[in-house]
Copies of this chain bind each other. A is one copy, B any other.
Amino acid sequence: MSTLHGSVCFEQARRVAVFGGTHNEMSGVTLVNLWVKNGAEIQRKGLEARPFITNPRAVEKCTRYVDTDLNRAFSPENLSAPGGDDLPYEVQRAQEINRLFGPKGSPEAYDVIFDLHNTTSNMGCTLILENSKDHFNLQMMNYIKKAVAPACCLVLLNEHPLLKYSTSRSVAKHPVGLEVGPQPQGVLRSIFESMRIILKHALDFIELFNEGVEFPACTVEVFRVLERVDYPRDTNGNIIAMVHPNLQDCDWEPLTPGDPMFQTFDGKTIYYQGPGTVYPTFINEAAYYEKQQAFVTTRREALVASTIRKSIN
């Protein structure tokens, strides 16, 4: 990355990976398996796009993970942990993925990794951004949002100091998460076509960038992760309430102080009492019960993406 005449310059993005099966979420697993057989759909001039199943054992067993969540396993400690075969399966796998697509943080790392996920939440199509200063990704997301309009594709920004986690895609220089929902675990619904279309536009963007197209400065609306909200619990830690029907399926809609948030099993309503309006998402996601998360709150922000162009060298 460098700057030239006010533009931010990046190397061409020649090595791209598409991850499916980081969890056993069927849209990504199905698409990646299709592309492993026949990759024509994801090939673009001047770049290699490699489809890859990241957690094949979990996919085979129809479970989120075998020993530990792969999508939390790419910490420096894990990636450098000695132990070989004695390590948890997903830590071994993280090390292997880091060898194949990284090393994380190095010049040898893949340029872009797309990681394909489904959620049981009613989030529609969501791109996940890990760094508000990643102008390449911001421009890509802006391009995708415009390309799919009038359909909607939102951007979730997670750079929260405590809630950000070490994802599989974080091995790449430009990590891109893609969540599509709602879809129950273990089920394939036709929303996988939306995932396919977003990935098509993403690859088109990279091809254009590599060809020398300059993308002028723009603003991108993102939803920044603020806070994790747990289910109400009793003193033994048992959940005593569910997401209120007025909030269920209302991902991305404003939640204002005084709005219903949970409904206890004996029929009482628990209201949101935060200081101001927030935008909840990942509402009632199945996989987050174990993470003690009923939803996350977010704040809407407009980020400025600088002009970008490829480096001349």
Contact = CB atoms under 8 A, between A and B. Distances in A.
A30 B188 CA distance: 27
B190 A263 contact: yes
If over half of A's interface residues share one DSSP class (helix, strand or loop), that class is named, otherwise mixed; here it is loop
B120 A190 contact: no
A305 B100 CA distance: 67
B189 A248 contact: yes
The bracket for how many chain A residues form the interface is 20 to 34
Nearest to A33: B238
B286 A187 contact: yes
A305 B33 CA distance: 52
B187 A265 contact: no
Contact of A192 (B183, B187, B239, B242): B242
A265 B38 CA distance: 12
Interface in A167-188: 182-188
Given A184-B184, A265-B30, A242 B189 contact: yes
Contacts of A244: 190
A287 B186 CA distance: 7
A286 B120 contact: no
Given A30-B265, A34-B265, A265-B30, A185 B184 contact: yes
A243 interface: yes
Nearest to A63: B63
Interface string A87-109: 00000000000000000000000
B120 A187 contact: yes
Contacts of A54: none
A186 B30 contact: no
Contacts of A184: 120, 182-185, 187, 286
Best-surrounded residue of A63, A120, A187, A188 (most CB of chain B within 10 A) = A187
Interface string A283-300: 011110110000000000
Contact of A189 (B30, B284, B289): B284
A189 B243 contact: yes
A216 interface: no
14 contacts: A34-B265, A62-B290, A63-B63, A120-B184, A120-B186, A120-B187, A184-B185, A186-B286, A187-B285, A188-B242, A189-B243, A190-B243, A190-B244, A190-B245
Minimum-distance CB pairs A-B, first 10: A186-B286, A184-B184, A120-B184, A190-B245, A187-B286, A188-B242, A184-B286, A185-B185, A120-B187, A187-B284
Interface of A: 30, 34, 62-63, 120, 182-190, 192, 239, 242-245, 248, 263, 265, 284-287, 289-290
